[in-house]
Amino acid sequence: MPKRTRNTAKTDKLDTVQNARRVFLEAVESSETQLTIVQQVMRQMGAKGGAIGGKRRLETMTDEQRRRSARKAAKARWAKPKKTA
């Protein structure tokens, strides 16, 4: 009768959760998404619009609108709970 050799593959030492994580990470790393032409164009348009959006908004807002926006932003910042490190 031939002797059995023990399979010492890395997956044998992993429990179910570790093995699932390994499979997930391999799937994520190996999958490269190919963007269509439309998606590439829309991505470029979005990046361009985002870069100029704040400047244009600043130019078109009145002083009162800017003041109101700044107050709202300050309230939102101060309403957050403080982080305890």
Residue at 85 is within a domain: no
Between CA 49 and CA 52 the distance in angstroms is 5
Residue at 3 is within a domain: no
Q: pTM of the full predicted structure?
A: 0.36
Give me the number of domains the chain comprises.
Answer: 1
**pLDDT on residue 67:** 94
Residue at 17 is within a domain: yes
**pLDDT on residue 14:** 73
**pLDDT on residue 30:** 63
**Residues 43 and 35 sit within 8 Å (Cβ to Cβ):** yes
**pLDDT on residue 82:** 79
**pLDDT on residue 1:** 67
Residue at 58 is within a domain: yes
CA distances from residue 45 to 36, 50, 77 in whole angstroms, order as listed: 14, 9, 30
69: domain range? 12-77
Residue at 1 is within a domain: no
User: Residues 21-70: pLDDT tens digits?
Assistant: 888 888 877 656 677 888 888 888 888 777 777 778 888 889 999 999 99
Residue at 37 is within a domain: yes
